[in-house]
């Protein structure tokens, strides 16, 4: 049972444009959502998070949007840079989960110069 | 500041041999500790988590085991490796709480190839 899904395996964007990465979840108990960035052969790096009491959180070029009714979140990167090319994972946790995260399958973002 | 370190970074092991991956966290006390695995072309799967010394919970049945002999040390082991154990193993930590907004921070990862 895939509780967190990233339906786009890859995304290609031109430098300077907006990158939009999407994530859907099914478990209504999830109340905390995160985005991680991962380069090959490295551990994921935490990017940005959002609590279910908010619908938007912004940090520099990164903005995460949460639509609870649709059980959908998205990560916007504006403007996109070649260094943003990586695999992006969304993750979710909720309830008394001891901080355990459920991850999506990841989306490979390629930003072309 | 908190740091997490795991080793070795890369290893190639024959089928049937034992495994030991180690992970330590510095700059925090009583963290939650986790072992994740990323198989080729797949997402991150939680293998084990620990909320304290000697307290280990397994998420999926497998050929692996974990131990937490000290507060900030987490070890992933196997007595006999299988080909299917190949993958990228990640140790991670979070602030030691059972619920709420809890961000997990990952180590550098260990590539295991079983041949």
Chain A within 8 Å of B32 (Cβ-Cβ)?
Answer: yes
pLDDT one-digit tens code per residue, A7-40: 999 999 999 999 999 999 999 989 999 999 999 8
Q: Which residue of A lies nearest to B97 if distances are taken between CA atoms?
A: A98
Low-confidence ranges of chain B (pLDDT < 70): 40-42, 97-100
Distance CA B10, CA B5 (A): 13
Distance CA B106, CA B67 (A): 18
Distance CA A57, CA A80 (A): 18
**Tokens read off for A61:** 């070029």
Measured from the Cβ of residue B52, the count of other Cβ atoms closer than 10 Å reads 13
Chain A within 8 Å of B11 (Cβ-Cβ)?
Answer: no
Give A98's contacts in chain B (Cβ within 8 Å). 32, 49, 51, 57, 98-99
**Tokens read off for A23:** 């994530």
Q: Name the burial class of residue B27, with classes exposed (0-12), middle (13-18) and buried (19+) by CB atoms within 10 angstroms of its CB.
A: exposed
Residue A1: the pLDDT is: 66
């Amino acid at each position: 049972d895939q509780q967190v899904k990233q339906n786009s395996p890859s995304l290609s964007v031109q430098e300077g444009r907006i990158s939009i990465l999407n994530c859907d979840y099914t478990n209504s108990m999830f109340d905390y959502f995160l985005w991680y960035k991962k380069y090959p052969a490295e551990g994921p790096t935490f990017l940005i998070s959002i609590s279910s009491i908010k619908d938007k959180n912004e940090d520099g070029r990164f903005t995460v949007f949460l639509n609870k009714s649709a059980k959908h979140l998205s990560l916007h990167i504006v403007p996109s840079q070649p260094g943003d090319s990586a695999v992006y994972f969304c993750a979710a946790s909720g309830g008394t989960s001891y901080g355990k995260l459920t991850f999506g399958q990841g989306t490979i973002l390629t930003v072309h110069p | 500041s908190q740091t997490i370190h795991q080793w070795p970074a890369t290893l190639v092991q024959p089928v049937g041999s034992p495994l030991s991956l180690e992970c330590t966290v510095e700059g925090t006390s009583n963290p939650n500790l986790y072992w994740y695995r990323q198989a080729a072309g797949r997402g991150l799967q939680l293998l084990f988590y620990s909320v304290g010394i000697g307290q280990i919970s397994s998420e999926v049945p497998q050929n692996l085991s974990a131990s937490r002999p000290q507060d900030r040390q987490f070890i992933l082991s196997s007595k006999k490796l299988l080909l299917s154990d190949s993958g990228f193993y990640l140790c991670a930590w979070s602030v030691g709480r059972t619920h709420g907004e809890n961000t997990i921070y990952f180590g550098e990862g260990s590539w295991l190839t079983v041949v």
